[in-house]
Chains A and B, each alone.
Chain A
Amino acid sequence: MNTTDLGYLVQVAFLLGASLFAIGLHQMNSPASARNGNRLSAIGMTIAVIAELTFVANSSPGIGNWLIIVGGLVVGGAAGLRLARTVAMTAMPQLVSLFNAMGGGAAALLAIDDFIRLGGQRTPEGALSSLDGWLVFFIVVDVIVGSVTFTGSLIASAKLMGRLKGQPIILPGGRFLSAVALIVSVSCSIVLVLAGAGLFNYDTQILDVLLMAAMIGALIFGVTMVLPIGGADMPVVISMLNAFTGSAVAMAGFVVGNVILIVAGALVGASGAILTKLMAGAMNRSIANILVGGFGVAEGSQAAMTSEGGTIREVSVDDAAIQLAYASKVVIVPGYGLAVAQAQHGVRELADLLEARGIDVSYAIHPVAGRMPGHMNVLLAEANVPYPQLKEMDEINPEFERTDVALVIGANDVTNPAARTDRSSPIFGMPILDVDKARSIIVMKRSMGRGYAGVDNPLYVNPKTGMYFADAKQGLANLIAAVKAQ
């Protein structure tokens, strides 16, 4: 087959691949069909990769080129497989971040390579024969977005792994450095685009240096952007970096003239954008506010609330067990504290016990209950909790009024009624789980410490609330034993 015909065939294969991506994503609309959807998407990917390999083979590249391709596939594939097989579900956010970094990094490399190679074709006078303004525009956007994603995701991943402190890290002069890096990056890019459009004549080496400067600026900006962001804001950050990766891949598609890259990048970009908006909405914060960082710092009105707000009632394990065992409807509200304590299996065991007694048990999942969108659902699914029991916020909130016992484990800010009522509260307006509307509430908590937002939770002094101070894992084990004794 001649190269042109094969080229067309490869295009058709790409179209097929892109369609399978879209159909696969569509099947993600229900847990019943999602696994099949992911497989369809994987088949699409396989078709695209085989098509590309066939095309490459037809142009009979040298042995060195095959070494690069096959060697890279083996090394990368093995590393990816190893990570995917061994990662704990609690560590999903950092793995997703790591894959974001790789995708963004690869997309940036594509553009850099394109620039270097096209540079070789430039005429000696310095005119850019094979580059034009648009192409350079896509190259610089790809390089900048890809580089920001690369370092930003690595930092996010390191924070999630605990290699870096989860709390906001404020570098001295961090904002200034951030601004300088961004300005350098953007101004170099503008010069490059104008040169690409033929408005300037520069020596090719200067252009290469400018591209490197734009890249380094973006790499630094990625670091300074994510460092000051705190752990509980991670769902927003990861979603945003995901959207960035998608955009970088789409830009790479424009650069190398490959439609499947454009489609795939656009799909991922759209997904990341939707999730970013949902996550920010679930915390009632603007994306800009999260990026600027710092939350609940120096709010003067907090101390007053504790002093005017009633007393705390502690419950014993046996009291808690009796309440649970003789309820007819129980809603469990798991927070990240549950995952930290690795108590998902304990909670499932307790739920099974209660269900065996004929009690209706469901789980109320706040969108940001975890370190990435939907994280808590995966953790509970891993503990064999059937997914029909996992209820989203809007679905479960009307049910709290009919709930006998709401059992809050390791969740704090997302249950704080002050978000509904107290205009002066820093979390006012944040959508919360209406736990306080249940007939009685048991809060399992290690201590009276504040949540991430650093605000008091009036739920704890509510006369309906019993506080059970314990580590989630140990507390659940005690509770299970006490329920069994009933």
Chain B
Amino acid sequence: MKEKLKTIIKMGLFLIPLLFFYLVLIAQNQEATSTFEYAEDNQQCLKCHGHTYYNYYNDWLERMIRERMNPYFIVDSAEYYEANHRNFACIDCHTSEYENFPHNGELRMEPKYACMDCHGGDDTYAKFNFEQIESEFYNSIHSSKHSDDFTCWMCHNPHSYKISARTNRHLNKTIQYDNNICLSCHADISKYQLLTTLENPNILETHSWLPNQVLHFQSVRCIECHTEINNYILVAHNVQAKDKAVQRCVECHSQNSILKETLYKYQNEGFSYSENRDRSLEIPKLIGGNRRYMLNLASVIIFILVLGGISIHAVLRIILKPR
């Protein structure tokens, strides 16, 4: 009897923390989705489109079928509920006819909304200057070379895109996030050739002239060198042709570094645009750009003292020269 009791207590000691851990996980999971108004409605879509496999009942075969989901139609629900459009219902942008299964094949032809359909001419978004972003984009090589085929969605996946520059406290994460957007085409031939028959140039080879390539790729975004600076929008969208890219090291590696107009133009907390942004922002940590006022001053003072000391010593040598 005593032994049995001991065993029950031991099992309890093992199981109770496990149960607690399980309950916490459930609570967190519920909290993560329940905060979104359309989470339940969206779940109808995500139960198939949120997975690599989906199940449906086939009336002809009269049995459940397990199929693989087209990888281009999968929406990562975790990513979606962290993205900018997380508070939307799927049918806000897609026709409600998708609620019927099997989906009508013609629905694939439905026109997709563009950014400006929602963001244009709306005072709520006035501070983001979407009109300027659109005009910059139309001037860019992306738009001029590929016309209507190149849309905002090419870079900003509506199901996963989230603002990064303004909210990320760690600049490295913003850099990585933004560069991955460029690489999603420029390092992926299948997506790249949606718009061209050309072969995707190898980024590492085309940038082989860049010293410390890895460090550069980790420390700055592609757009630092490949876009024209615009002081009225936070992220420049006028992507330039490759021959117009910044190639002079000194453009960044100087006290007047262009990075101050691009990567370092915002504060991670409470961003501000060029007219009122804090110009005392930390100077980029790079050679030529990280001159520290106090060290500069100290070095000049020491230099003057040394030269002064030498001059006085030399003059005294001449004046007091023993005859």
Answer yes or no: do A and B interact: no
A contact set with B: CB distance below 8 Å: none
B contact set with A: CB distance below 8 Å: none
